[in-house]
């Protein structure tokens, strides 16, 4: 069976302008991620992992080269169209959870479906929160939840739009070991059951090892880690 | 739409939406309440002044007016009355007396009321109806001169009348020129029967109008081009008369106050919007990662802003209406008249303020919010790419537009905008220097003082911005306090409680001692006696006035008519020498008439005094305070030039109400002396001034409260960062007093700097306002220099410490989690 390409990157270079002059963060990166794969991007701090993740998800525009998500070339799209593609294909999990503080757990999870105009947003959110074991915390606000609970809400929110690709930026970075384990389990379970492609930036070697591929980022360049 | 609404309803819990709505409500309600209140005051002043005019508008004519004028008024559904005034002899048996008679229609007065009494020299009761045909009302003075009482008959020309009342006050008397003869009033229906008005008689005809403001304006537009030299259109608050000027100044003040309220509202909106945007940056970035497109976000914010506008404007209008009601009812106990109802048509101003505020302060920031990069979720330092200068420009333009809308002009808004911009630059420069100095004095130190001063420099830009806002608000408050104090002082000075309210004319030199004795016995305060000789200027530097100003050209006041001349060896009360030598052997001229006739020291005037010609050089120029109610003269001559002519003497007196009756009785032994009572008009002016003073104090209080709210909002806007720092310090083991001290020093320093700069700014602005807007002499305001820093330190510290009290009470962990 032919597997579809979820993400394709060719000759990606990204330069930012700072006070001290231009700084090239990513240099000539080429890669391809197939649908259903789980990929960990590892590397030291400042190696460009998060920048790459942001570009892959269409959060920023690269300086040169091409990135395409399911054959939609990000480089040639404006923010309006990139947002539409994100809404259609992408889910996010962040290191600092990024829940909206003024919304309850259930409302946070409802957001992606509501943005799409889904009438069943609430029901779906309830199911997802149940799956992450928070059915008893539906109406709690983020500041009433522990770090682990907040990240579980974030995972439920990420899956609420039934994304084809899930981007995770250090998902366990702000959690203790025990909570980290719960999150990882949840993440991989949901990933598998929903058939999602997972692209994850992490420092955690154990976590990286659970992914089907590991890419090492070093000084703006990418290398495949061979096991 | 429903998603936007849902999102907004959920957002209400965070308090940010409420802050924004509150700012909008404050904007709309402040402007609405002040606008409505000013409108009511203006209507009230107009009504008060209309009582003095006996009508809303009046046409005065030396000849009979065309019938079309009345027809036009009828077509416009205006109420009308007529008054015909003339001087005539009144006979009572063998006694006769020259009388100032008014013949009026049954509809007279249209505004105000007669004050009449059944007892001689009584204080009077209101009557809104004039005498019936066959009746006449006489002033007590006239009745005592004619030696008659109520029920007696008098003759005017060929007609006989029965005296039915003593006239205490004629509501329209102050509008006509002061007349020295005692007054009487009759019904116009009897006028023809008297046969006293014949061709060539000196008669003044008045057509009085009252009614709808729009109809009156239409009438004015129609009549003005038709008026000739002998005809005049009069309004109650005409410029040039004292009441008009007083009200004009009060209106300028209220307008200024309202404009400052608009500025404060703008600041409040800008602060609340900035806070909203700051706290929503991450939210928008997250929504973007979740697939929200800029267009969708724009739609969401438009809907939210629209709902906010509707809610804020409606609540603001209602609150504004309520607040002005409260101000008015507070004032009603103090004011002698009830205020007219506010007009609903004035509400548009509040609505427009709300709309422009949203457009200028909220929308650009919201659009900026939409442009945030979704990358911020990964890199919180990601900046919003938009021209900040542009946002300030839009905000500034909005504020300027609002002020123009409010003042219906460009001068005041332009002055204010330039002043604010100037202050912005000064604040930025001085603030930077002061903060920098604070930092360098405290490097490497760890006491509360040092931490406080150091953080001023560390958060340089937000602190400079906050300094500017504090300075602006304090300055605006100080300006209002300064203007109010000098305005009220100016008014009180203009018309002290014992300002003369009667003039005595036609006093012969041998009567002076007797009158002095009588007035001394009554304890009446009297000015000096001034001799008065009539004379006319006939030539200027040898050129005749006819030659200088041929027929048809506009003559200066000095040459237009016969003048009252006097001599004096010393400058009288209310006179100030501006140049020359008063004691020199020449003429002393009043400055304004000298300027009008283009005369200066050294010019020679030739005066015809009873057929004798006198030529004298001008040797001094003086200003005269015409408001002092002292006898004042355009020209004062050397004694030698006038002493050979028969002179009448004039003096002014203050007669207290309870002294009036004995005074009039005493004066009845001097039938040839004329008494002019200006007390009623003075009382009216004093009432209006009193009301104005109270009104502007209340408006001031209202604006200062709004200012305090804006200060509060401003402190809150940077509170989070301060709380975060305080919490961190506590986590690191700092004692509560250290954090408290650091906060105290930071707020105190901000308050002190802003108070000082504000005092300087207010002093400069007050100078400009006094000189250019209120046209009064500039003065120094030491009070502001104490008040500014004091308010700055106390209010800002109090608000700051109160708002940050949680940082001192709550466990640091909880704080850090909340932030």
Confidence of residue B796 (pLDDT cuts 50, 70, 90): confident
Digit-coded pLDDT (tens) for B594-648? 888 888 899 999 998 878 888 999 999 998 876 666 777 888 988 888 878 888 8
The pLDDT, as a whole number, for residue B364 is: 83
Please, what are the averages of pLDDT over each run of 10 residues along chain A (227 residues)? 81 85 88 91 86 88 90 86 88 87 90 85 91 89 89 89 89 82 84 88 86 89 73
Q: Which helix (H) or strand (E) holds B6?
A: helix B2-12
| Residue bearing the bigger pLDDT, B679 or B463 | B463
Mean confidence (pLDDT) of chain B: 80
Confidence of residue B509 (pLDDT cuts 50, 70, 90): confident
Of A88, A92, A101, the CB nearest to B289: A92
The pLDDT, as a whole number, for residue B809 is: 67
* CATH placement of domain A5-221: 3.40.50.300
Decide: B145 and B182 in contact? Cβ < 8 Å: yes
Taking the CA of residue A112 and the nearest CA in chain B, the distance in Å comes to: 6
Q: Is the pLDDT confidence value at B176 over 50? A: no
Q: Stretch B174-186: mean pLDDT, rounded? A: 63
Best B378, B382, B383, B818 member to test A by mutation, with max A CBs in 10 Å, is B378
Q: Stretch B536-555: mean pLDDT, rounded? A: 82
Q: If you count them, how many residues does chain A have?
A: 227
User: For residue B638, what is the DSSP state?
Assistant: -
How far, in Å, CA of B61 to CA of B54, rounded?
16
Digit-coded pLDDT (tens) for B107-125? 988 888 888 889 887 777 8
Q: Stretch B444-467: mean pLDDT, rounded? A: 74
Q: Which of A87, A79, A14 is nearest to A49 (CA)?
A: A14
Angle separating helix axes B2-12 and A105-115, nearest 10 degrees = 160
Of B290, B378, B817, the CB nearest to A115: B290
How far, in Å, CA of B47 to CA of B327, rounded?
19
Contacts with B181 (C-beta within 8 Å, 6 or more apart), sequence order: B87, B97, B98, B99, B100, B674
Burial A162-175 (b: 16+ CB within 10 A, else e): bbbbbbbbbbbbbb
The pLDDT, as a whole number, for residue B583 is: 86
Q: If you count them, how many residues does chain B have?
A: 819
Q: Is the pLDDT confidence value at B560 over 60? A: yes
Decide: A57 and A86 in contact? Cβ < 8 Å: yes
The pLDDT, as a whole number, for residue B178 is: 42
- Write down the ipTM of this complex: 0.89
Structure tokens at B302: 């438009």
Quick one: closest CA in B to A114, which residue?
B3
* Residue in the structure block whose two tokens are 């309440």: B33
Q: Is the pLDDT confidence value at B162 over 80? A: yes
Digit-coded pLDDT (tens) for B675-697? 777 776 676 666 666 766 777 77
| Record: contact A116-B291, CB cut-off 8 A | yes
Strands B231-234 and B57-61, how do they pair? Answer: antiparallel
Burial B7-40 (b: 16+ CB within 10 A, else e): bbebbeebebbebbbbbbbbbbbbbbbbbbbbbb
Confidence of residue B435 (pLDDT cuts 50, 70, 90): confident
Confidence of residue B201 (pLDDT cuts 50, 70, 90): confident
Neighboring chain A residues of B292 at a CB cutoff of 8 Å: 83, 87, 115
The pLDDT, as a whole number, for residue A2 is: 54
Neighboring chain A residues of B291 at a CB cutoff of 8 Å: 83-84, 86-88, 90, 112, 115-116, 161
Q: Stretch B516-531: mean pLDDT, rounded? A: 86
Quick one: closest CA in A to B375, which residue?
A59
Q: Stretch B532-558: mean pLDDT, rounded? A: 82
Q: Stretch B738-755: mean pLDDT, rounded? A: 84
Tell me the H-state helices in A59-218.
79-89, 105-115, 121-131, 147-160, 177-194, 205-209
Evaluate the omega torsion of the peptide bond into residue B207 and state whether it is cis, within 30 degrees of 0: no
Strands A64-69 and A72-73, how do they pair? Answer: antiparallel
The pLDDT, as a whole number, for residue B800 is: 77
The pLDDT, as a whole number, for residue B239 is: 44
Q: Is the pLDDT confidence value at B97 over 70? A: yes
Strands B587-590 and B612-624, how do they pair? Answer: parallel
Q: Stretch B263-287: mean pLDDT, rounded? A: 81
| Record: contact B283-A100, CB cut-off 8 A | yes
Q: How far is CA A183 from CA A107, A132, A207, B209, B688, in A?
A: 20, 9, 11, 86, 77
A17 touches chain B (CB under 8 A): no
Confidence of residue B519 (pLDDT cuts 50, 70, 90): confident
Best A46, A61, A98, A155 member to test B by mutation, with max B CBs in 10 Å, is A98
Q: Which of B340, B318, B317 is nearest to B328 (CA)?
A: B340
Neighboring chain B residues of A100 at a CB cutoff of 8 Å: 283, 286
How far, in Å, CA of B441 to CA of B217, rounded?
67
Confidence of residue B104 (pLDDT cuts 50, 70, 90): very high
Distance, CA of B123 to chain centre = 32
The pLDDT, as a whole number, for residue B240 is: 45
| Record: contact B375-A102, CB cut-off 8 A | no
Q: Is the pLDDT confidence value at B261 over 80? A: no
The pLDDT, as a whole number, for residue B419 is: 78
Instruction: Give domain limits for chain A.
Output: 5-221
| Record: contact B290-A98, CB cut-off 8 A | no
| Record: contact A50-B379, CB cut-off 8 A | yes
The pLDDT, as a whole number, for residue B819 is: 46
Strands A197-201 and A38-43, how do they pair? Answer: parallel
Best A102, A118, A149 member to test B by mutation, with max B CBs in 10 Å, is A102
């Amino acid at each position: 069976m032919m597997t579809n390409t979820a993400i394709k990157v060719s000759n990606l270079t990204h330069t930012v302008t700072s006070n001290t002059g231009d700084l090239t963060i990513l240099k000539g990166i080429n890669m391809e991620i197939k649908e259903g794969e789980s990929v960990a991007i590892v590397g030291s701090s400042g190696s460009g992992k998060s920048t790459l993740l942001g570009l892959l998800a269409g959060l920023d525009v690269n300086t040169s080269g091409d990135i395409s998500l399911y054959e939609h070339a990000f480089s040639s799209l404006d923010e309006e169209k990139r947002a539409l593609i994100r809404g259609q294909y992408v889910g996010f999990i962040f290191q600092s959870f990024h829940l909206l503080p003024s919304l309850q757990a259930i409302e946070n999870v409802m957001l992606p479906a509501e943005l799409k105009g889904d009438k069943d947003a609430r029901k779906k959110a309830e199911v997802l929160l149940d799956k992450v074991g928070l059915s008893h915390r539906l109406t709690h606000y983020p500041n009433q939840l522990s770090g682990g609970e907040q990240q579980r809400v974030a995972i439920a929110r990420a899956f609420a739009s039934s994304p084809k690709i899930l981007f995770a930026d250090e998902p366990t970075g702000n959690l203790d070991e025990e909570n980290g384990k719960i999150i990882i389990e949840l993440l991989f379970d949901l990933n598998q059951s929903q058939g999602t492609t997972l692209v994850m930036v992490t420092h955690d070697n154990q976590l990286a090892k659970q992914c089907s591929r590991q890419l090492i980022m070093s000084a703006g360049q990418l290398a495949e880690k061979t096991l | 739409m429903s998603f936007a609404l849902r999102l907004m309803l959920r957002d209400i819990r965070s308090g940010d939406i409420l802050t924004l709505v509150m700012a909008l409500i404050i904007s709309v309600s402040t402007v609405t309440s002040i606008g409505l209140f000013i409108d009511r005051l203006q209507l009230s002043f107009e009504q008060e002044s209309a009582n003095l005019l006996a009508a809303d508008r009046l046409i005065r004519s030396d000849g009979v007016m065309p019938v079309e004028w009345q027809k036009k008024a009828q077509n416009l559904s205006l109420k009308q009355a007529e008054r015909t005034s003339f001087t005539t002899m009144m006979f009572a048996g063998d006694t006769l007396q020259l009388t100032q008679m008014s013949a009026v229609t049954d509809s007279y007065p249209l505004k105000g009321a007669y004050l009449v009494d059944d007892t001689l020299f009584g204080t009077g009761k209101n009557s809104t109806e004039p005498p019936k045909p066959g009746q006449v009302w006489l002033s007590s003075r006239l009745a005592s001169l004619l030696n008659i009482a109520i029920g007696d008959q008098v003759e005017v020309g060929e007609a006989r009348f029965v005296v039915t009342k003593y006239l205490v006050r004629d509501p329209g008397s102050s509008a006509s020129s002061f007349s020295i003869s005692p007054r009487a009033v009759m019904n116009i229906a009897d006028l023809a029967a008297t046969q006293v008005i014949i061709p060539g008689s000196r008669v003044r005809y008045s057509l009085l109008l009252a009614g709808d403001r729009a109809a009156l304006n239409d009438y004015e537009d129609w009549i003005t081009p038709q008026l000739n030299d002998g005809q005049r259109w009069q309004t109650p608050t005409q410029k040039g008369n004292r009441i008009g000027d007083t009200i004009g100044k009060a209106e300028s003040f209220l307008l200024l106050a309202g404009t400052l309220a608009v500025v404060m509202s703008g600041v409040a909106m800008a602060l609340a919007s900035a806070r909203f945007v700051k706290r929503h940056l991450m939210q928008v970035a997250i929504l973007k990662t979740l697939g929200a497109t800029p267009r969708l976000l724009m739609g969401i914010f438009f809907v939210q802003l629209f709902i906010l506008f509707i809610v804020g404007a409606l609540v603001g209008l209602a609150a504004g209406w309520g607040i002005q009601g409260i101000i008015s009812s507070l004032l009603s106990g103090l004011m002698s008249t009830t205020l007219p109802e506010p007009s609903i048509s004035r509400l548009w101003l509040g609505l427009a303020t709300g709309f422009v505020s949203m457009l200028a302060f909220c929308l650009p920031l919201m659009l900026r919010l939409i442009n945030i990069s979704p990358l911020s979720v990964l890199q919180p330092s990601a900046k919003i790419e938009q021209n900040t200068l542009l946002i300030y420009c839009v905000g500034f333009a909005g504020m300027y537009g609002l002020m123009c809308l409010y003042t219906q002009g460009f001068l005041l808004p332009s002055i204010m905008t330039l002043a604010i911009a100037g202050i912005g630059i000064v604040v930025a420069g001085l603030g930077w220097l002061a903060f920098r100095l604070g930092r360098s004095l405290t490097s490497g130190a760890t006491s509360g003082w040092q931490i406080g001063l150091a953080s001023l420099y560390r958060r340089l830009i937000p602190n400079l911005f906050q300094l500017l806002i504090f300075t602006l608000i304090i300055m605006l408050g100080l300006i209002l306090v300064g203007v109010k104090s000098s305005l009220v002082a100016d008014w009180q000075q203009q018309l002290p409680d014992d300002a003369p309210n009667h003039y005595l004319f036609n006093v012969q030199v041998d009567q002076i001692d007797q009158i002095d004795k009588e007035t001394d016995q009554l304890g009446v305060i009297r000015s000096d006696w001034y001799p008065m000789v009539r004379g006319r200027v006939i030539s200027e530097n040898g050129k005749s006035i006819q030659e200088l100003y041929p027929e048809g050209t506009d003559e200066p006041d000095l040459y237009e008519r016969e003048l009252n001349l006097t001599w004096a060896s010393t400058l009288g009360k209310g006179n100030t020498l501006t140049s020359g030598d008063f004691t020199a052997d020449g003429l002393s001229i009043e400055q304004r008439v000298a300027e009008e006739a283009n005369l200066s020291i050294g010019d020679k005037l030739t005066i015809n005094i009873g057929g004798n010609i006198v030529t004298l050089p001008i040797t001094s120029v003086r200003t005269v305070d015409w408001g002092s109610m002292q006898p004042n003269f355009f020209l004062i001559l050397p004694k030698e030039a006038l002493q050979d002519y028969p002179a009448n003497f004039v003096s002014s007196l203050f007669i207290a109400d309870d002294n009036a009756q004995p005074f009039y009785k005493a004066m009845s032994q001097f039938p040839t002396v004329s008494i002019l009572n200006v007390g009623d008009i003075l009382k009216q002016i004093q009432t209006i001034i009193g009301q104005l003073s109270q009104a502007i104090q209340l408006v001031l209080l209202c604006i200062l409260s709004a200012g305090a709210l804006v200060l509060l909002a401003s402190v809150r806007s940077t509170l989070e960062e301060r709380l975060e720092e305080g919490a961190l310090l506590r986590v690191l083991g700092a004692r509560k007093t250290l954090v408290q001290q650091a906060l105290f020093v930071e707020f105190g320093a901000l308050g002190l700097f802003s108070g000082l700069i504000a005092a300087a700014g207010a002093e400069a602005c007050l100078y400009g306002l006094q000189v250019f807007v209120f046209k009064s002499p500039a003065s120094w305001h030491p009070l502001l220099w104490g008040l500014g820093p004091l308010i700055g330190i106390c209010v800002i510290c109090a608000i700051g410490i109160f708002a940050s009290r949680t940082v001192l009470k709550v466990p640091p962990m909880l704080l850090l989690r909340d932030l």
